[in-house]
Amino acid sequence: MATQTYTGRLTDFGELPFPDAQPRLSVAPAVDAFGPNGLLSSKRIPVSLAADGSFSVALVPSTDTSPPVEYVLRCEWLDAEILLGYSQWRFTALPSGGAISGMVSAPLSVWWVGPPWPPGLPSGWYFDQFTNDVGRKN
Protein backbone atom coordinates (compact mmCIF):
# COMPACT_ATOMS: atom_id res chain seq x y z
CA MET A 1 0.00 0.00 0.00
CA ALA A 2 1.41 3.36 -0.97
CA THR A 3 1.50 5.92 1.81
CA GLN A 4 2.62 9.51 1.71
CA THR A 5 4.26 11.62 4.43
CA TYR A 6 2.20 14.39 6.02
CA THR A 7 3.84 17.04 8.20
CA GLY A 8 2.91 19.76 10.65
CA ARG A 9 3.93 21.74 13.70
CA LEU A 10 2.02 21.99 16.98
CA THR A 11 2.32 25.39 18.69
CA ASP A 12 0.28 27.88 20.69
CA PHE A 13 -1.24 31.00 19.08
CA GLY A 14 2.08 32.80 19.58
CA GLU A 15 3.57 30.04 17.36
CA LEU A 16 5.69 28.72 20.21
CA PRO A 17 6.00 25.01 21.04
CA PHE A 18 4.89 23.70 24.43
CA PRO A 19 8.15 22.81 26.22
CA ASP A 20 6.57 22.12 29.62
CA ALA A 21 3.34 20.55 28.42
CA GLN A 22 2.69 16.85 27.88
CA PRO A 23 0.81 16.64 24.57
CA ARG A 24 -0.02 13.24 23.06
CA LEU A 25 -0.64 13.48 19.32
CA SER A 26 -2.44 10.91 17.15
CA VAL A 27 -4.23 10.75 13.80
CA ALA A 28 -7.13 8.55 12.68
CA PRO A 29 -9.50 8.39 9.73
CA ALA A 30 -12.99 9.67 10.54
CA VAL A 31 -14.44 6.32 9.31
CA ASP A 32 -13.28 2.83 8.40
CA ALA A 33 -12.63 2.42 4.67
CA PHE A 34 -11.31 0.21 1.91
CA GLY A 35 -7.80 0.88 0.61
CA PRO A 36 -5.90 -0.22 -2.50
CA ASN A 37 -4.89 -3.50 -0.81
CA GLY A 38 -7.79 -4.22 1.53
CA LEU A 39 -9.58 -3.05 4.65
CA LEU A 40 -8.40 0.01 6.58
CA SER A 41 -9.27 0.35 10.28
CA SER A 42 -9.94 3.74 11.83
CA LYS A 43 -7.68 3.02 14.82
CA ARG A 44 -5.55 5.90 16.04
CA ILE A 45 -1.94 6.15 14.85
CA PRO A 46 0.45 7.65 17.45
CA VAL A 47 2.51 10.60 16.18
CA SER A 48 5.84 11.66 17.73
CA LEU A 49 6.45 15.34 18.44
CA ALA A 50 9.90 16.94 18.17
CA ALA A 51 11.01 19.53 20.75
CA ASP A 52 10.07 22.36 18.35
CA GLY A 53 6.54 20.93 17.90
CA SER A 54 7.16 19.49 14.42
CA PHE A 55 5.86 16.05 13.42
CA SER A 56 5.31 13.76 10.45
CA VAL A 57 3.09 10.75 9.82
CA ALA A 58 2.67 8.28 6.93
CA LEU A 59 -0.93 7.87 5.74
CA VAL A 60 -2.89 6.47 2.80
CA PRO A 61 -4.03 9.49 0.74
CA SER A 62 -7.75 10.25 0.98
CA THR A 63 -8.15 9.75 -2.78
CA ASP A 64 -6.95 6.14 -2.43
CA THR A 65 -9.70 5.14 0.04
CA SER A 66 -13.33 4.21 -0.48
CA PRO A 67 -15.17 6.09 0.77
CA PRO A 68 -12.67 8.96 0.57
CA VAL A 69 -11.74 9.58 4.20
CA GLU A 70 -11.15 12.73 6.13
CA TYR A 71 -8.48 12.40 8.83
CA VAL A 72 -8.71 13.71 12.39
CA LEU A 73 -5.52 14.91 14.06
CA ARG A 74 -6.00 14.86 17.85
CA CYS A 75 -3.81 16.33 20.59
CA GLU A 76 -4.56 15.22 24.14
CA TRP A 77 -3.18 17.42 26.94
CA LEU A 78 -1.94 15.29 29.84
CA ASP A 79 -0.79 15.75 33.40
CA ALA A 80 0.85 12.52 34.58
CA GLU A 81 -1.41 10.48 32.24
CA ILE A 82 -4.55 12.33 33.40
CA LEU A 83 -6.40 13.85 30.46
CA LEU A 84 -6.83 17.60 30.98
CA GLY A 85 -8.37 18.34 27.58
CA TYR A 86 -7.87 17.90 23.87
CA SER A 87 -7.80 19.69 20.50
CA GLN A 88 -8.83 18.21 17.12
CA TRP A 89 -8.30 19.20 13.49
CA ARG A 90 -9.82 17.61 10.35
CA PHE A 91 -7.98 17.45 7.04
CA THR A 92 -8.02 15.75 3.65
CA ALA A 93 -4.79 13.86 2.91
CA LEU A 94 -3.77 14.97 -0.60
CA PRO A 95 -2.11 12.41 -2.89
CA SER A 96 1.29 14.12 -2.84
CA GLY A 97 1.68 14.36 0.97
CA GLY A 98 3.06 17.55 2.49
CA ALA A 99 2.02 20.13 5.06
CA ILE A 100 -1.31 19.34 6.74
CA SER A 101 -1.98 23.07 7.25
CA GLY A 102 -2.70 23.37 3.51
CA MET A 103 -5.14 20.44 3.49
CA VAL A 104 -7.89 21.74 5.76
CA SER A 105 -10.29 22.43 2.89
CA ALA A 106 -8.35 20.70 0.12
CA PRO A 107 -10.21 19.24 -2.85
CA LEU A 108 -10.33 15.47 -2.87
CA SER A 109 -9.15 15.04 -6.45
CA VAL A 110 -6.16 16.73 -8.05
CA TRP A 111 -5.89 17.63 -11.74
CA TRP A 112 -2.55 18.03 -13.49
CA VAL A 113 -2.37 19.83 -16.84
CA GLY A 114 0.67 19.31 -19.02
CA PRO A 115 3.10 18.57 -20.32
CA PRO A 116 5.27 19.38 -18.51
CA TRP A 117 4.20 17.04 -15.71
CA PRO A 118 5.10 17.37 -12.01
CA PRO A 119 8.22 15.54 -10.80
CA GLY A 120 7.59 11.94 -9.79
CA LEU A 121 4.15 11.87 -11.46
CA PRO A 122 2.01 11.98 -8.28
CA SER A 123 -1.47 10.42 -8.14
CA GLY A 124 -4.33 12.36 -9.69
CA TRP A 125 -6.14 13.10 -12.92
CA TYR A 126 -4.11 14.16 -15.95
CA PHE A 127 -5.16 16.33 -18.89
CA ASP A 128 -2.74 16.40 -21.83
CA GLN A 129 -3.11 19.85 -23.38
CA PHE A 130 -1.60 18.71 -26.70
CA THR A 131 -3.54 15.47 -27.31
CA ASN A 132 -6.64 16.31 -25.19
CA ASP A 133 -6.29 12.91 -23.50
CA VAL A 134 -7.62 12.55 -19.96
CA GLY A 135 -6.46 9.82 -17.57
CA ARG A 136 -5.93 8.89 -13.95
CA LYS A 137 -2.72 7.71 -12.34
CA ASN A 138 -2.97 5.88 -8.99
Label the pairing between strands 4-9 and 54-59: antiparallel
Q: Residues near 46 by Cβ (< 8 Å), separated by ≥ 6?
A: 24, 25, 26
Question: What letter does residue 117 receive in the DSSP assignment?
Answer: P
Please write the tens of the pLDDT for every residue from 81-124: 788 888 999 999 988 899 998 888 766 666 677 888 777 666 66
Please write the tens of the pLDDT for every residue from 37-49: 899 999 999 999 9
Which sequence spans correspond to the domains of the chain? 4-102, 108-138
Q: Are 109 and 125 in contact (CB under 8 A)?
A: yes
What is 4-102's CATH topology?
Immunoglobulin-like (2.60.40)
pLDDT of residue 125: 72
Is pTM, for the whole model, over 0.85? no
